[in-house]
Amino acid sequence: MNRTLLLTPLLATTVLVAACGGTTPEPEAPTPASAGKIAVPAELKAKGTLTIGTDATYPPIEFMGADGKTVQGMDADLAGALAGELGLKAEVHHASFDSILPGLTTKKFDVGMSGFTDTKEREQTVDFVTYFSAGTSFFVKAQGGPMINTLDDLCGRTLALQKGTAQVDDAAAQQKQCAAAGKPAIKVLTFPDQPGANLAILSGRAEAGMTDSPVAAYQAKQSGGKLKVVGQPYGSAPYGIALPKGSPLAQPLREAMQALIADGTYGKILSKYGIEAGAVSTAGINQAVA
């Protein structure tokens, strides 16, 4: 979940995010030429808004702005542009990461945009419109942190991870590998948001963290030299916009994202946050690789 700077300082960020909530309307944007040309479900068209759930603690993918109210970042910018392509207005709600997918089932949100990795497991309950590619990076305390090169190096270490993320699943899978090799177990600490996991590393409660590669690079840069990325990223996989399973909005949303890719809007948004390396040329539906 990237969501000006959330990690400067990290402690202030955590307090800020905890104090924020509710609804954040996206700023008005110019109406794209394609607005209204992509067919959207009648119920959504009548409502006139696209309601997006996001955990604004994951910079630069999504984060709270300096006013403590406005959600900024790649996903927030794309949400506004996508809504415009569909002839709608974007309404972004800050929510805890692990509450967003259930919020689709209860119709609290129309879509979830919060750096969700499209996985086979998640596809059992939701559909995804894929729009970005990211791997996972390891990060540690810059002074005195261990060198973590691969998942095997996590055996016997204490990890700080955000609850509900794909990295929690990765750690669980690696736990079995450690046991099979007769190595010490991994101790996993989970936190409601990424800043909480970061603080656990800075305070010495945990030795290492794992998060999406663009997020790890950004938070290390913004930590004032307190955190550093180590090893090499692994497991490149697509990010997806989550929708209720079988939603008729999936295809229109894919068309809208493809339009943003084609007209250059998508590239400009990624360039704004320095994450062009994760760009894709084609938006897809349910493209999980694992």
- List beta partners, residue 72: 63
Q: Tell me which of 67-81, 106-120, 209-223 is least confident.
A: 209-223
Q: Is the pLDDT of residue 290 over 50?
A: yes
Is 5 contained in some domain? no
**Pairing relationship of beta strands 227-244 and 49-54 according to DSSP bridges:** unpaired
Domain span holding position 243: 10-134+236-285
Q: Are residues 112 and 243 in the same domain?
A: yes
Determine what percent of the chain is predicted with pLDDT higher than 70: 88
Q: Are residues 145 and 66 in the same domain?
A: no
Q: Are residues 213 and 159 in the same domain?
A: yes
Is 67 contained in some domain? yes
pLDDT in tens, 64-112: 999 999 999 999 999 999 999 999 999 999 999 999 999 999 999 999 9
Which region, left, alpha or beta, applies to residue 44 given φ > 0 means left and ψ of -120 to 50 means alpha?
A: alpha
Q: What is the pLDDT of residue 36?
A: 55
Q: What is the pLDDT of residue 32?
A: 52
Q: What is the pLDDT of residue 249?
A: 98
Mean pLDDT for all residues in the chain: 88
Give the residue among 1, 29, 32 at the shortest CA–CA distance from 264: 32
Please give the average per-residue pLDDT across 168-176, as a whole number: 96
Q: Is the pLDDT of residue 7 over 60?
A: no
Q: What is the pLDDT of residue 35?
A: 53
Determine what percent of the chain is predicted with pLDDT higher than 90: 81
Q: Are residues 123 and 189 in the same domain?
A: no
Q: What is the pLDDT of residue 24?
A: 42
Q: Is the pLDDT of residue 199 over 70?
A: yes
Looking up tokens 């394609």 gives: 34
Is 3 contained in some domain? no
Q: What is the pLDDT of residue 232?
A: 87
Q: Is the pLDDT of residue 289 over 50?
A: yes
Q: DSSP labels for 76-100?
A: HHHHHHHHHHTT-EEEEEE--HHHH
Is 290 contained in some domain? no
For residues 287 and 112, what is the distance between their CA atoms, to the nearest angstrom? 16
Q: Tell me which of 15-29, 128-142, 225-239, 241-255 is least confident.
A: 15-29
Model confidence band, residue 6 (pLDDT cutoffs 50, 70, 90):
very low
Q: Are residues 111 and 244 in the same domain?
A: yes
Q: Are residues 222 and 207 in the same domain?
A: yes
pLDDT in tens, 11-54: 333 322 333 334 444 444 444 545 558 999 999 999 999 999 99
How many structural domains are present in the chain?
2
Q: Are residues 78 and 23 in the same domain?
A: yes
Q: pTM of this prediction?
A: 0.77
pLDDT in tens, 240-279: 999 999 999 999 999 999 999 999 999 999 999 989 989 9
For residues 212 and 167, what is the distance between their CA atoms, to the nearest angstrom? 8
Model confidence band, residue 2 (pLDDT cutoffs 50, 70, 90):
very low
For residues 1 and 58, what is the distance between their CA atoms, to the nearest angstrom? 4
Range list of H helices, the chain: 10-19, 42-47, 74-85, 97-105, 120-123, 166-180, 194-202, 213-222, 250-263, 265-272
For residues 63 and 219, what is the distance between their CA atoms, to the nearest angstrom? 12
CATH number at residue 198: 3.40.190.10
- List beta partners, residue 22: 94
